[in-house]
C-alpha cells in the first residue's frame, strides 16, 4: 500500500464549481499534513497546512481525520487560475530528522471557462 494515496484525476470542472479532493495516508506516525500546489513544470508550492480542527483560507478548506487517516481539500468557486496538480503531503519525523515529506502522486485539476 502506498504511503499517501490520491485520486490522480483529472478533474475537469467549469468555473465557479466546487471541487473536493481526498487523500489517505498509511503511516499513523504522520505528524503534520499539507496540501501543495504544483503548476506544470514548476516546483511545488505550499497551499496550506491541514489541522485536525479543520482550517480555511479564502476559497480553500482543508480537513484532517486522524482516526480514518484521511485528508481532504475543498475548493469553492473555482477559478481558471486554480488549474494545477494538487499534492497531498504528510510529514513523518524519524529519529533526529526534522521530518521527511511524503507526497502523493497528485490530483490534476483543470478548470474550464
The residue (of 74 and 101) whose beta carbon lies closer to other proteins is: 101
Instruction: Say which residue the cell 513544470 belongs to.
Output: 41
- Show the binding pattern over residues 53-92: x = contacts other proteins (CB under 8 A), - = does not: ----------------------------------x-x-x-
Interface pick for other proteins out of 42, 59, 66, 112 (rule CB under 8 A):
42
Minimum Å gap between C-beta 9 and other proteins is 12
Would you count residue 32 as binding other proteins (CB under 8 A)?
Answer: yes
**Smallest distance from the beta carbon of 8 to other proteins, in angstroms?**
8
**Can you point out the beta strands (E) in 17-93?**
19-25, 32-38, 45-50, 55-57, 60-65, 70-75, 84-92
CB 33 within 8 A of CB 50: yes
Residue reference for cell 487560475: 81
Return d(Cα 105, Cα 113) in angstroms, integer.
Answer: 26
Return residues touching other proteins (CB under 8 A): 4, 31-32, 34, 42-46, 49, 87, 89, 91, 93-106
Amino acid at each position: 500500500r502506498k504511503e499517501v494515496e490520491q485520486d490522480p484525476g483529472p478533474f475537469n470542472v467549469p468555473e465557479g464549481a466546487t471541487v473536493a479532493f481526498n487523500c489517505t495516508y498509511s503511516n499513523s506516525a504522520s505528524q503534520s499534513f499539507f496540501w501543495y500546489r504544483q503548476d506544470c513544470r514548476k516546483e511545488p508550492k505550499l497551499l496550506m497546512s491541514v489541522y485536525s480542527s479543520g482550517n480555511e483560507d479564502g476559497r480553500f478548506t482543508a480537513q484532517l481525520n486522524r482516526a480514518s487517516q484521511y485528508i481532504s481539500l475543498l475548493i469553492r468557486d473555482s477559478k481558471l487560475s486554480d488549474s494545477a496538480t494538487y499534492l497531498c503531503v504528510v510529514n513523518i519525523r524519524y529519529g533526529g530528522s526534522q521530518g521527511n515529506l511524503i507526497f502523493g502522486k497528485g490530483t490534476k485539476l483543470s478548470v474550464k471557462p
